Amino acid sequence: MAELISPAMLAWRHLPQLEDPFFVRSQVEAAANHHQAGVQSYNRHSVSNFSDWLRQSGVSTEELSQYVLRSLEQGEAFYVHTINEKPIRPLVFWQESEETQASDSFYGYNGHWQVYSYVKPAIRNKLQFLLQTLRPPKPVVVRKAAPSAVQKNPAAQPKVKERHQFVVNIEAAKGCELPAEVPVTLVVLNTNKERVPVKQINDLIWNSESRVFRAEQGDSFEAFVIRERQKDVRKDLNDNKNLKASVAADLIAPLSISNTYTRNDDVIVHEVTYEVPNHYLEIELVDEDDIPEAFARYQVFDLNDELYAEGELDDQGRARVEGIDELEAQVFFPGFDGAGVMTEQEAQQA
């Protein structure tokens, strides 16, 4: 998601992510509409800090989108993409020096940031002033052991430490829309060390990233997403500090790593994809002649044998229960001899 950043808070790392205001009109209008309606947008391209930025700006106007766009066009605010997204028409570019030495825009070596000629005067003037004051991050200096010491005792050499992060790309189940929120526990296991470097509660709509954690070079990892109702999986993790039993019982599976890359700050990012389960249950009950059992009473229990919902089927012998799916549910039809526990498919054959 993108952010709105004031000139005073603009940093060197934001420069390659600055977007031309002309290309963000739809995103700003959508954010303004959601703000005025009192709801949160969960589009990955929305403005994540829109409400906070408005409060800091002291805005009290009904024409929010016009106000924000005007602020962007005057250089009073900047639209900044996340590091994983590139602007359609950036405001600045890295101009390498004519010297033969390597150029590095992240640390500001042998080059400088320059404003594109197509940028409007108001924004260009503001950026040219800021480029004179912004400073790149200082590189981390690593002291290396003397060659003689390394040769004397090779086994004592410290293992190389790396920084890692997992990013979860979420997808809706086929034929469904993403819900307004996806609260989960995000878990990363270091399979080499049998440790849990990351265990954190995330709403994947708004925060799809794990914290950055350290590991030794060569370590491998597995990432899991545990939903709120997966109590047995949570207990397995708390009791055993791993999920081997849950994986063996097919209660959960590690997410497949679809992409791995290294950011400019040397953090190794692993991308995984999580498909949000279809969280509703459709119930249908018919007799042997496929005639609907209208207004039959039903009960839905979760996998912990706790009553989740109950009610009556409609005149077509159907009902829909939100918030739980057929993999998490046990359906009973009290009053039907021998019906027992029924899933949706079993109910249709009853």
What is the DSSP annotation of 169-189? EEEEPTT----S--EEEEEEE
Query: pLDDT class for 327, splitting at 50, 70, 90?
Result: confident
CA distance 215 to 220: 9
- Contact criterion met (CB below 8 Å) for 66 and 73: no
Alpha helices, H only, 241-313: 244-248
| Domains along the sequence of the chain with CATH | 3-133 (no CATH), 161-276 (2.60.40), 280-349 (2.60.40.10)
What Cα–Cα distance (Å) separates residue 43 from each residue in 81, 207, 240? 13, 12, 37
**In this structure, is the dihedral angle defined by the CA atoms of residues 330, 282, 312 and 308, taken in order, positive or negative?**
positive
* Stronger pLDDT, 33 or 297, i.e. the higher one: 297
- Which residues in 158-189 are b (16+ Cβ under 10 Å) and which e? eeeebebbbbbbbeeeeeeebeeebebbbbbb
**Could you tell me the end-to-end alpha-carbon distance of the chain, in angstroms, rounded to an integer?**
48
Among the listed residues 192, 349, 210, the one whose alpha carbon sits nearest the alpha carbon of residue 271 = 210
Mean of per-residue pLDDT scores for the chain: 83
Query: Per-residue pLDDT tens for 199-208?
Result: 999 988 888 8
Measured at the CA of 62, the angle between CA 59 and CA 66, to 5 degrees, comes to: 80
State the average pLDDT over residues 305-319: 90
Query: β-pairing, 183-190 with 329-332?
Result: unpaired
Query: Could you tell me the pTM of the whole model?
Result: 0.45
CA distance 106 to 12: 8
Query: Per-residue pLDDT tens for 117-139?
Result: 999 999 999 998 899 888 888 77
| Order of strands, sheet of 267-276, starting from the edge strand that comes earlier in the sequence | 213-216, 161-172, 267-276, 257-262
Looking at residue 331, its pLDDT comes to 92
CA distance 81 to 4: 9
- Contact criterion met (CB below 8 Å) for 199 and 234: no
Percentages of the chain per state (helix, strand, coil), in multiples of 5: 25, 30, 45
| Residue 61 predicted with pLDDT over 70 | no
**In this structure, is the dihedral angle defined by the CA atoms of residues 119, 120, 123 and 127, taken in order, positive or negative?**
positive
Query: Per-residue pLDDT tens for 158-189?
Result: 788 999 999 999 888 777 777 778 889 999 99
Looking at residue 41, its pLDDT comes to 57
CA distance 65 to 55: 15
Looking at residue 154, its pLDDT comes to 56
CA distance 293 to 284: 8
| Residue 340 predicted with pLDDT over 80 | no
Give the number of other CB atoms < 10 A from CB of residue 348.
15
| Order of strands, sheet of 183-190, starting from the edge strand that comes earlier in the sequence | 195-203, 183-190, 221-227
| Residue 223 predicted with pLDDT over 90 | yes
- Contact criterion met (CB below 8 Å) for 198 and 180: no
| Residue 151 predicted with pLDDT over 60 | no
